[in-house]
Chains A and B, each alone.
Chain A
Amino acid sequence: AQTVTQSQPEMSVQEAETVTLSCTYDTSESNYYLFWYKQPPSRQMILVIRQEAYKQQNATENRFSVNFQKAAKSFSLKISDSQLGDTAMYFCAFTLSLGGTSYGKLTFGQGTILTVHP
């Protein structure tokens, strides 16, 4: 079974600064996808960024980037130039890229509450 661990229950950062959220995972599979989802106080789950395990290049989406270390099974999220609107709970998630019973099943970490201060 796959597991995802986020060891930082809460983080805070000043506006315009950079913050990194940590995530580790455990799997014996080699083909999978990793994600960061954001859940603001509105409760809506929003995809922030996605990484395919077979790609060595780290994914980036504007101010969001990841540091994917496959051997270490580590997948951290870096938020640059933090904005007040980034305040939310952030979830790391994993899914196998195989079909069958793994089809679309996301395994989530415990979440990290990020607060951006003005």
Chain B
Amino acid sequence: DTAVSQTPKYLVTQMGNDKSIKCEQNLGHDTMYWYKQDSKKFLKIMFSYNNKELIINETVPNRFSPKSPDKAHLNLHINSLELGDSAVYFCASSGQHANTGELFFGEGSRLTVL
């Protein structure tokens, strides 16, 4: 049983296309996140949702739109893909005491934009 699962794990697409990455967690956690890991392995938070409510929105282009239909799911939709969007996108979740910092990560989704 995978605690935090992301699909797809690999995605190759052309510039200008629109794509989505889905994330689901079965841990009963209230908070979910999207992190981006760039080609230099640097990890940075993009979004955070708590009980379907957006609570963190870093300086991310409007082309990125997260959606949380319920607290177990957080999807990421990207419009008009650009070369610079190529990265590994990690979904994560945390429990009620999110500030203890223990995030549970998915395996990542490697997006390659050609």
Q: Which residue of A lies closest to B32 (CB)?
A: A104
Q: How many A-B residue pairs have CB under 8 A?
A: 70
- Mask of A83-118 contacts with B, CB within 8 angstroms, 1/0: 000000101010111110111111010110000000
| Shortest distance from the beta carbon of A98 to any chain B beta carbon, whole Å | 7
- B contact residues around A104 at 8 Å (CB): 31, 33, 48, 56, 94, 98-99, 101, 103
Let me know if A47 is at the binding interface, CB within 8 A. Answer: yes
With A42-B107, A103-B50, A104-B94 as given contacts, are A50 and B102 in contact (CB-CB < 8 Å)? yes
Let me know if A45 is at the binding interface, CB within 8 A. Answer: yes
Partner of A33, one of B42, B50, B101: B101
- B contact residues around A108 at 8 Å (CB): 42-44
- B contact residues around A56 at 8 Å (CB): none
Let me know if A55 is at the binding interface, CB within 8 A. Answer: no
Chain A interface: which size bin? 20 to 34
Query: Is B45 within 8 A of A106, CB to CB?
Result: yes
Let me know if A35 is at the binding interface, CB within 8 A. Answer: yes
Let me know if A44 is at the binding interface, CB within 8 A. Answer: yes
With A50-B100, A99-B99 as given contacts, are A44 and B43 in contact (CB-CB < 8 Å)? no
Listed in ascending order, the chain B residues whose CB lies under 8 Å from chain A are 31, 33, 35, 40-45, 48, 50, 55-56, 88, 90, 92, 94, 98-103, 105, 107-108, 110
Listed in ascending order, the chain A residues whose CB lies under 8 Å from chain B are 33, 35, 39, 42-47, 50, 89, 91, 93, 95-99, 101-106, 108, 110-111
Subset of 16 A-B contacts with CB under 8 Å: A33-B100, A39-B41, A43-B107, A44-B105, A46-B105, A50-B101, A93-B101, A97-B99, A98-B99, A99-B99, A103-B99, A104-B33, A104-B48, A104-B103, A106-B103, A108-B44
